[in-house]
Amino acid sequence: MLGERLRAARHARFVGRTAEKELFRTAIISADLPFYILHIFGPGGVGKTTLLQEFNFIAEQENIPAYYVDARNVDASPEGFNTALRRVMNISPEQSLRDSLASHARCVVLLDTYETLIPLDDWIREEFLTRLPENTLMVITGRQAPSAAWRADSGWQSLMRIISLRNLATEDSTDYLLKRAVPVDQHKAVLGFTHGHPLALSLVADVFAQRPDVQFHPENVPDVVQTLLAQFAQKVPGPAHRAALEACSMVRLMTVPLLAEMLALRNDEEANEFFVWLHSLSFIESGAEGLFPHDLAREALSTDVHWRNPEWYAELHSRARHYYFTQVQQTSGALQQRLLFDYIYLHRDNPFIRPFFEWKTGGNIITDTMKPQDVSVLKMMTAELEGQESAKLASYWLSRQPENVVVMRDAKLKAIGYFMMLALHQTSQNDYEIDPAVRSTVNFLKAQAPLRPGENATLFRFWMAKDGYQDVSSVQSLMFVNMVRHYLSPGLAYSFLPVADPDFWMPAFTYVDLERIIQADFTVGETTYGVYGHDWRIRPPIAWLEFMGDREVAGPTNTPRPAPVEQMIVLSEPDFEDAVQDALRDYTRPDMLRDNPLLRSRLVIEKTRNSSNETERVNTLRTLVRDAAEVMQQSSKETKFYRPLYHTYIQPAATQEQAAELLDLPFSSYRRHLKSGIMRVVEILWAQEIGGTDISK
């Protein structure tokens, strides 16, 4: 079968990760699992998904069932997660997940891109995993280390293993380049530039696959992936292929019809050729709904085309918007919501819009309808945040329009916020007299924008997060997404959004075309609420989305384009050790330190706050090395290691023999103590590199 050939081909190209593979293999063949959760984390492009594919291959070799779930294709809800797992296990909704897993002597669940399931982190840890049978190993990969809740739980500490996945060691990187037929005379330049970053290595190999005779001369810039992608994009088969690559970087998911629209092709059949080519690229991944570049590749490509050819970027953006507009008007329900989210994704880098959509990775939040048991909780929340008068009004409306209340919940399903889409067209004269918010907005409608038969108006009467109230937060951002979805409701003529701090929200709301309506302001208790609104008859939802798209491409007025974030080098532990030893050797020769890869490591970059000043970084590296060495002075047991290090590197004697004589040590003892001192410095700096440990404490 083709699938078997694909798995074999992936395995044939796989290099390195010997310790990780051995840990996994030993665990799954043990009579009793030595641990039940294997959590692997690392930055984008470091090879987490590829490692999971290798784990899958190992499990197949051992005749152990392995079920792979890509969290990017999972709805972040308990039901969505269980449905996705049932799908890959090929079992019906009536069958028990636990019983199906327990029916095997041993089985493995491989959960990829866990960062997209942060809203379910508590539920997965406290509910799902605790119900797994003891024969099942759960492997989780993601960009972030396990949350504090995992690390603080003494029970999970004994049942899980955590691995920080780093770059490939030099020998493994060389092995990979050989397998990809990269000319040997080019290895030094490639390895010196990529420092073993798996995605970067893969992109370089793609360059040579298309032009074997190319001479690799990387520019001296910090963003490895962007530079490699820039060179790769110049060597694609033709301009249309390059356009396909750029288009793919701009959208959340690329499909054949969308590609046909963005490349202005005649039909899907013509677009399929480019779709297949995209699928063949090493940094393009596939999901149930389409193709997408690796995140680092996406950012590099999108940033490059936006900077290099803004007119073409605007054209691609316009074509994607047109596709989504057409599809949104022809669909409904969940598909319409997904298409709307795809449209919103086009705005992911906008400095005004971005804060509203941090919800996807920003917290443990689930959107739900209001349940009877929520009423008292929401009343109390309103009383705490807005006062008793507001709480009485909330109680009034929660009982009259409960179907219009949206509750935000954490993974334990506790209410952490809510908002209400009060239907103004369903209110009465009695409601106007009771609630000043309804009175002011209805009076405004009657005077300035009267509703016509069949038209609706919505007042987002209450919107608040338990922690933070109406400040920018993950809860607030998710509320905004749901509000945008509500804008597409049939018959919606006007919407009102009251805020306790209208001046704070004015720049963002003005940018998204919400008008400040002072006539509709109202007071409850001691708070006067400013009201923003939009007449959807003047600028209907689809036209509004297009308007926002035009603003996105044009860029916000007087807003400078943010500088790209520098790509750090993520060194493997052996390469890190080599770099520290080089830094010690060159400590008194700052010019020699300018080529040390540690200058672009987390260790230095975080200390210099991404400063591009090379001299500042060199000085920071020297300080880090010196401080790490001086830690040994604080311990009577380690002083003997510090002194040879000091007289060899910090204030070096002319020769090592003279250093040993100065210390009154036999040369063999001097060499032994020096080696111990070096390894101690490596240990201290490595702890800072992977965990931010402060060596001064």
* DSSP secondary structure string for all residues of 508-564: HHHHTTPEE-GGG-EEETTEEEEEEEEETTTS-HHHHHHHHHHHHHH--TT-PPPPP
- Pull the structure tokens for residue 668: 């063999």
pLDDT band at 421 (very low <50, low <70, confident <90, very high): very high
376 and 299 both lie in a single domain: no
Q: Single out the residue in 121, 145, 166 at which a domain terminates.
A: 166
Closest CA to 442 of 462, 463, 427, 461: 427
Average pLDDT over residues 172-198: 85
342 neighbors 251 (Cβ within 8 angstroms): yes
- Pull the structure tokens for residue 501: 């701090």
Residue 242 domain boundaries = 172-332
Count CB-CB contacts under 10 A for residue 314: 17
Q: Is 561 a domain residue?
A: no
Average pLDDT over residues 72-90: 89
- DSSP annotation of 145: P
Q: Is 144 a domain residue?
A: yes
pLDDT band at 562 (very low <50, low <70, confident <90, very high): very low
Q: Is 348 a domain residue?
A: no
Average pLDDT over residues 342-370: 69
602 and 653 both lie in a single domain: yes
- Supply the pLDDT for residue 565: 37
Q: Is 96 a domain residue?
A: yes
Reading across the β-sheet that carries 37-41, which strands appear in turn? 66-70, 107-112, 136-142, 37-41, 160-164
Assign residue 271 a region (left: φ > 0; alpha: ψ between -120 and 50; beta: otherwise): alpha
pTM: 0.52
CATH number of the CATH domain containing 415: 3.40.630.30
375 and 459 both lie in a single domain: yes
- Supply the pLDDT for residue 357: 59
302 and 386 both lie in a single domain: no
Place of tokens 């597409």: 488
19: amino acid identity, one letter:
A
CA of 28: how far to CAs of 55, 89, 292, in Å?
10, 18, 32
The crossing angle, in degrees rounded to 10, of helices 239-250 and 295-308 is 110
- What lies within 8 Å, CB to CB, of 672 at 6+ separation is none
140 neighbors 38 (Cβ within 8 angstroms): yes
Q: Is 560 a domain residue?
A: no
103: amino acid identity, one letter:
S
339 neighbors 324 (Cβ within 8 angstroms): yes
pLDDT band at 140 (very low <50, low <70, confident <90, very high): very high
Q: What is the pLDDT of residues 628-685, one digit of tens each?
A: 999 998 888 899 999 999 999 999 998 999 988 988 999 999 999 999 999 999 999 9
- How much of the chain exceeds pLDDT 70, in percent? 87
- Supply the pLDDT for residue 282: 63
- Supply the pLDDT for residue 379: 96
pLDDT band at 695 (very low <50, low <70, confident <90, very high): very low
Q: Is 87 a domain residue?
A: yes
Average pLDDT over residues 35-44: 88
Q: What is the pLDDT of residues 218-258, one digit of tens each?
A: 543 334 456 556 655 656 888 899 999 999 999 989 999 99
198 and 161 both lie in a single domain: no
- Supply the pLDDT for residue 651: 92
Q: Is 696 a domain residue?
A: no
- DSSP annotation of 120: G
- Supply the pLDDT for residue 361: 39
- What burial class does residue 601 get, using C-beta atoms within 10 Å of its C-beta: 0-12 exposed, 13-18 middle, 19+ buried? buried
Q: Who wins on pLDDT, 510 or 274?
A: 274
- Supply the pLDDT for residue 512: 86
- Supply the pLDDT for residue 621: 92
Please state, rounded to an integer, the average pLDDT across all residues of the chain. Answer: 84
The Cα–Cα gap between 110 and 51 comes to: 10
Residue 595 has pLDDT above 90, yes or no: no
552: amino acid identity, one letter:
E
Number of domains in the chain: 4
324: amino acid identity, one letter:
Y
379 and 499 both lie in a single domain: yes
Q: Single out the residue in 554, 589, 613 at which a domain terminates.
A: 554
Q: Single out the residue in 113, 146, 166 at which a domain terminates.
A: 166
417 and 491 both lie in a single domain: yes
pLDDT band at 362 (very low <50, low <70, confident <90, very high): very low
- Supply the pLDDT for residue 220: 33
Q: Who wins on pLDDT, 218 or 62?
A: 62
- Supply the pLDDT for residue 469: 93
- What lies within 8 Å, CB to CB, of 165 at 6+ separation is 20, 40, 41, 42, 46, 47, 48, 51, 141
Average pLDDT over residues 80-99: 90
- Supply the pLDDT for residue 68: 94
Residue 373 has pLDDT above 90, yes or no: yes
Average pLDDT over residues 542-547: 74
416 and 470 both lie in a single domain: yes
Closest CA to 523 of 511, 534, 531: 531
The Cα–Cα gap between 674 and 666 comes to: 12
- Supply the pLDDT for residue 693: 46
- Supply the pLDDT for residue 3: 59
CATH number of the CATH domain containing 77: 3.40.50.300
183 and 296 both lie in a single domain: yes
Q: What is the pLDDT of residues 470-497, one digit of tens each?
A: 988 878 877 887 888 888 887 788 999 9
- Supply the pLDDT for residue 197: 81
pLDDT band at 466 (very low <50, low <70, confident <90, very high): very high
Closest CA to 21 of 65, 56, 67: 56
The Cα–Cα gap between 598 and 568 comes to: 10
Average pLDDT over residues 617-625: 92
CA of 318: how far to CAs of 100, 352, 484, 511, 546, in Å?
48, 19, 20, 19, 8
Residue 691 has pLDDT above 60, yes or no: no
Residue 527 has pLDDT above 60, yes or no: yes
130 and 162 both lie in a single domain: yes
**Can you say whether the dihedral through the CA atoms of 629, 631, 632, 633 is positive or negative?**
positive
394 and 310 both lie in a single domain: no
C-alpha gyration radius of the chain:
29
383 and 503 both lie in a single domain: yes
Count CB-CB contacts under 10 A for residue 60: 14
Q: DSSP for 408-459?
A: EE-TT--EEEEEEEEEGGG--HHHHHH-HHHHHHHHHHHHHSPPPTT-EEEE
The Cα–Cα gap between 263 and 632 comes to: 62
Q: Is 338 a domain residue?
A: no
406 neighbors 365 (Cβ within 8 angstroms): no
Q: Which of 333-337, 446-450, 499-503 has the highest mean pLDDT?
A: 499-503
